[in-house]
Amino acid sequence: MKRSVLSRAAETIILLVVCFVALFPIVWMFLTAFKNPRDAYDISLNFQPTLQNFVTIFSNPWNLGHALLNSTIVAGATVLLSIPAAALAAYSFSRFRMKARKSLFFAVISTQFVPAVVIVLPFFLMFRSLGLLDTRIALVVVNVAIVTPFVIWMIKGFIDAIPLDSEEAAMMDGASRLRVIRDIVLPMAAPGIITSAIFSFILTWNEFLFALILTRRHATTLPVALTNFRTERGDLWELMSAAGVLITVPIFLLALVIQKHFTRGMTAGAVK
């Protein structure tokens, strides 16, 4: 099929504009992160790059290293707790035709639509009386709540796509269901499970509301630590940008790793 040069040119221009709009805020943040404070207040691109901001955010009084550690532990623990439980449930939802299946599945899914701000109120009160406010444990618990239903949904999409044949053959040969799950389904679903794990890591890493309400100092994660750079002296943009780079780079790398599966998994889960 031939297309006119004009429509091809228009398409190229639109896509270039889209890339520009998508990238510009990110590129600007990266540039600002390497500016000294004086240059940060100037939109000129002609500046002497410096690494000083990255040194500053890791030293007193900002100590972002601690928030980085918190973010990593909280996101990691959330993934480790939610993925195994979600994978088992997803398998059950995908393979068994139980009577209550449909309503159970939708009960799980609809909890995903409950706003976080509703869940956080009781948790705040509960953690307060247990003395768990401002701890990583508290953050892991609430994040698992949000992530698990979502991951069940995603992994189920991936398991649905695995053909039943090899599973049935193995069962014919007398393998137990649990063996089939361990030796056949899990290896085949591994790309999907890894994708879901990375996805929930990203969700937890970026999570802001819980961390804002449930932490003060000790368990603050990176997104909340960002707000510390709003000081009485005004906003310290060059430091905020450096912290932004710190938050963004690991997530961008993870997102690019799962890029292909990611788009497929998302659409499969949501549309099917």
- List the beta strands (DSSP E) in the chain: 230-231, 234-235
In angstroms, the CA 39 to CA 252 distance is 26
In whole angstroms, the minimum distance from the beta carbon of 50 to another protein comes to: 18
Task: Report the residue number, 101 or 218, with the smaller CB distance to another protein.
Answer: 101
Which positions from 231 through 270 interact with another protein, judged by CB under 8 A? 235, 237, 240-241, 244, 247-248, 251-252, 254-256, 259, 262-264, 266-268, 270
Neighbours of 155 (CB within 10 A): 27
61 preceded by a cis bond (ω within 30 of 0): yes
CB of 258 to another protein, least distance (A): 9
Q: Are 63 and 246 in contact (CB under 8 A)?
A: no
Residues of this chain, 93-152, that bind another protein according to CB under 8 A: 93, 95-96, 98, 102, 104, 106, 108-111, 113-119, 121-126, 141-142, 144-145, 148-149, 152
Which C-beta is closer to another protein: that of 59 or that of 263? 263
259-271 and 136-160 helices cross at what angle (nearest 10)? Answer: 80
Residue 57 interacting with another protein (CB under 8 A) = no
Contact 117, 209 (CB under 8 A): yes
Of residues 142-201, those binding another protein (CB under 8 A):
142, 144-145, 148-149, 152, 176-178
Applying CB under 8 A, the span of 20-28, 54-62, 161-169, 184-192 interacting with another protein comes to 20-28
Q: Which amino acid is at 115?
A: P
Cα separation, 69 vs 64, in Å, equals 9
Give whichever of 18 and 130 is closer to another protein, judged by the CB atom: 18
What CA–CA distance (Å, rounded) separates 142 from 119? 8
Residue 188 or 209 with smaller CB distance to another protein = 209
- Sequence letter at residue 207: E
Restricting to residues 196-215, name those near another protein by CB under 8 A.
202, 205-206, 208-209, 212-213
